[in-house]
Structure 1
């Protein structure tokens, strides 16, 4: 009978003399770092990781409506962290299910807006066009356009998609091509596709 091997995530305590760089966290150096972060941030304080990300964030924001406590929001936040969005905006209910975020919300700026009107006012004040992503009549194929370099990608919730108020507020509306039998894909998946479309148009390859 062979023993089952489990590959433990992260790294153990720092071997040898500790670094003096203030970005390093003494507790992590002593006990190891099992967080879901890339290797360059191993042993770093959370505040140091956020500060480094803030110096490199991209020009797009992501927003999602949350009228029915949508379970996809955690995935949207995780995708936003992966693609280094400037901020995530939750429109509607303040509380959202964080399980799907896999703790990435600790490193991703998340802002709340009570209403679509409040959110749109914020976007207009910052000169950011609101780009809706939904398979609606009149939507243009996302695959045929270049997304604005500075914008907010707005997603509806599972089932109803963008609300009427959100649709009316959009400066542009794009759809994601689908080839199977399903009527729609959820906001978590759609957000990853749309963010990657922005990345392909505007971002350089990440540093390794």
Structure 2
């Protein structure tokens, strides 16, 4: 039977006498090891230090998702937004959402709540940010080959239901991801990952 490798790293070698003299490091993690799902450069860092470092290089992409029925995919969207260092994640609708799928990555992103889509549209309008929806609905255009604004809000709807009517009407444009199989739509979390990566290909430097 194949042995499972432990995630992360153990205690800092050499004991407390060898610990780095750097306020970014967490004494608890140095003493007991860091088993979190973080990249190697952040091993042993405090959450606050990681967030502060990410804040110096976040992308000007805002990601919004409607939350009217406790969609299980919201956590997945948050996790992907963290992976791509999105500026903020906007939860539209219910304040509470299922964080399980985020795999604790919600600690490293900036979350903003909006009571409704009108609130999000007003927030974006006051900052001059175009709002673009992702959904395969009549009148939408293909995402592939489309030039996306560098500074923008990308909004997603609920699983199966898609974007609400108010969201579709308020978006500057709605784009769809081309599909070639039999199913009507792909998972909302997967769609968000594809759309965010499309933005990264156009505007982000190599990691």
TM-score of the two chains, using structure 1 as the length reference: 0.96
Q: CA deviation at 1:4?
A: 4.6
- 2 CA distance for matches of 1:55 and 1:154? 24
1:146 aligns with 2:144: no
- 2 CA distance for matches of 1:197 and 1:190? 11
Q: CA deviation at 1:191?
A: 0.4
- Runs of 4 or more, structure 1, over 2 Å off, are none
Residue 63 of structure 2: aligned partner: 62
Residue 167 of structure 1: aligned partner: 168
Residue 50 of structure 2: aligned partner: 49
- 1 CA distance for matches of 2:132 and 2:88? 15
Q: Deviations over 1:54-105 (max 9, x none)?
A: 0000011000001111110000000000111000000001110111101000
Residue 15 of structure 1: aligned partner: 13
Q: CA deviation at 1:144?
A: 2.0
SS of 2:186's partner is coil
TM-score of the two chains, using structure 2 as the length reference: 0.97
SS of 2:24's partner is coil
Residue 115 of structure 1: aligned partner: 116
Q: Which one is further off, 3-12 or 59-68? A: 3-12
Aligned length: 204
Gaps of 5+ in 2: none
Residue 193 of structure 1: aligned partner: 194
- 2 CA distance for matches of 1:58 and 1:110? 15
- 2 CA distance for matches of 1:28 and 1:114? 38
Residue 158 of structure 2: aligned partner: 157
Gaps of 5+ in 1: none
